[in-house]
Amino acid sequence: MVCILSAKGDQPEAAEHLVRAQTLISDKSDRLIFRFREVLLNYWTKRYTISHALQEFEGLMQAFGEMGLLQEQAAVRLHHAELLRLSGIDGWQRTLDDLEALSVSLQNQALLAREWTLVPELRQIAARTHPRIAGPSVQVLEVFTLGDERMLLDDALVHIPLRRGIELMAYFLEYKAVSLQQILNDVFHSEKPSAAKSYFHQFRHQLREALDGVEIEYDAESRLYRLKSEIDVLWDVSELRAGRVMGETGIFLPSSDNQWAYQVDQELDKVRITARKL
């Protein structure tokens, strides 16, 4: 929010938002993210020179790297590259190479989607030289399971006419690869096995119908089911665990009475108290 306001030229409100955000800092990652946005704001308002901002970014890149916060580090590296470019210093092209490679390794084409709007000139260049990370907008599937249960594909509601559809989607996002028996035990423990199996395979069919490039595939060798997606998926639980807020932070799968959902909800209590939007 700080960056959006500042990019729109509303520096006073951006500064006020930054002050409010400072009160929510509770750990090192919070402090680093706050400092990153503070440095950007200070540079945009000419309180920092390019050389000062570059020095600050270098320290932040190292700190995020040491904590394993690769997405946050990537955001800093993008702005560092932009300042190098503006200064006429070599190296910014190599940074784009590295960021594109990271996007491939993380299987996240939308790695920098939130930052490109803040560096429009660099994005125009990168759209030609590094289209994977800066090309035309890619499809993003957003899965909301905290206080709300819905899926959006590019902001359009995805309709799966099954009561447990969102729960099954979240189950695969949480556990990656699972056996049919595990699914029956965790999601359909109170139902007859035959009815539960039919429901699960109906969900697989409905998911394929609703979303091209997204399916629950079966591996005959391992006898496990797993989620396969050609679309970038953003899940509010994963975002919250990484210290980012996507929508609400309420009860996980409020319609579910299953133990696996309760356990995830309990685990999330540890990160809800530090949730923040900068």
The answer to whether the CB of 196 falls within 8 A of the CB of 204 is no
What is the Cα–Cα distance from 78 to 210, expressed in whole angstroms?
A: 35
- Residue 226 is predicted with a pLDDT of 95
Going residue by residue through the chain, which has 278 residues, state the pLDDT in tens, using 9 for 90 and above: 445 445 445 556 656 656 666 666 667 888 898 899 899 989 988 999 999 999 999 999 999 999 988 989 999 999 999 999 999 999 999 999 999 999 888 877 778 887 888 898 999 999 999 988 887 666 789 999 999 999 999 889 999 999 999 999 999 999 999 999 999 999 999 899 999 999 999 999 999 999 998 999 999 999 999 999 888 888 999 888 877 788 888 999 999 999 999 999 999 987 887 664 44
What is the Cα–Cα distance from 239 to 234, expressed in whole angstroms?
A: 7
- Residue 5 is predicted with a pLDDT of 46
What is the Cα–Cα distance from 88 to 150, expressed in whole angstroms?
A: 46
- Residue 111 is predicted with a pLDDT of 82
- Residue 150 is predicted with a pLDDT of 96
- Residue 47 is predicted with a pLDDT of 92
